[in-house]
Structure 1
Amino acid sequence: MADKIKLGLAVLLLIAGIAGYYALAEQAMVIRVVAVLVGLMLAIATTWYTEPGKQFFAFSQDSWGEARKVVWPTRKETLQTTGVVFLLVIVMAIFLWFVDAGLLWAVKLLMGRGD
């Protein structure tokens, strides 16, 4: 129950930050953005002390660690793969154009409007 109250408070803090942005319409843009950032930071800090918040932050850390283990392709591999994709798209476009033209010809022939 306490976690739900804390999460509700975090949502209210975020809403308050956004409301502060509009309430300070006469102020400089920097002050308005700071109001949103303060609301966001307070909401994150409040969420940090809830059980779902702790689970989320642990999951985020695990995800970040897994992303570091990924072997990312080199520039050459990326360009080659992109080239193959573009080539396949062009080949499929030509194939579908031929199929469409053939079906158009067949329908015209069946309707008696063919040459």
Structure 2
Amino acid sequence: MSKFWVFLSSVWQEAKKVSWPSKKDLMKSTGVVLVIILFVSVYLLVIDWGLLSAFTKWVYPIFLGGMATNMTPNP
């Protein structure tokens, strides 16, 4: 028997020993992950919006002399 088939046989034996979660546990874990993703997304949205507002109102006018509010390209 080749080494490949020995390897697959041992992988199959180990896979039988795995304790798979029940459907209820899987749904709970999925729900927790989705809630965490939602909170992190909202947190990053607020941080991004706040930084954009701060740069637009304070940083750009100071360093660019107000050029940031009129960023339209010249024809």
Q: Normalised by the shorter chain, which TM-score bucket?
A: 0.7 to 0.9
Question: Aligned Cα RMSD in Å?
Answer: 1.2
Identity rate of aligned residues, in percent? 33
User: Structure 2-normalised TM-score?
Assistant: 0.77
Relative contact order (C-alpha < 8 Å, sep 6+): which is higher?
1
**2:50 matched residue in structure 1:** 102
Runs of 4+ in 1 over 6 A off after TM superposition: none
In the alignment, the residues of structure 2 paired with residue 72 and residue 66 of structure 1 have an alpha-carbon distance, to the nearest angstrom, of 12
Q: Which amino acid aligns with 1:64?
A: W
**1:74 matched residue in structure 2:** 22
How far 1:96 sits from its partner (Å)? 0.3
In the alignment, the residues of structure 2 paired with residue 65 and residue 111 of structure 1 have an alpha-carbon distance, to the nearest angstrom, of 63
**2:60 matched residue in structure 1:** 111
**Post-superposition CA distance 1:25-61 (Å, at most 9, x none):** xxxxxxxxxxxxxxxxxxxxxxx6xxxxx10100000
Aligned length: 61
Q: Which amino acid aligns with 1:73?
A: P
How far 1:106 sits from its partner (Å)? 1.5
How far 1:98 sits from its partner (Å)? 0.6
**Post-superposition CA distance 1:67-100 (Å, at most 9, x none):** 0000000000000000000000100000000110
How far 1:105 sits from its partner (Å)? 1.0
Q: Which runs of 5+ in 2 are unaligned?
A: 67-75
Q: Which amino acid aligns with 1:58?
A: V
Q: Which runs of 5+ in 1 are unaligned?
A: 1-47, 49-53
User: Structure 1-normalised TM-score?
Assistant: 0.51
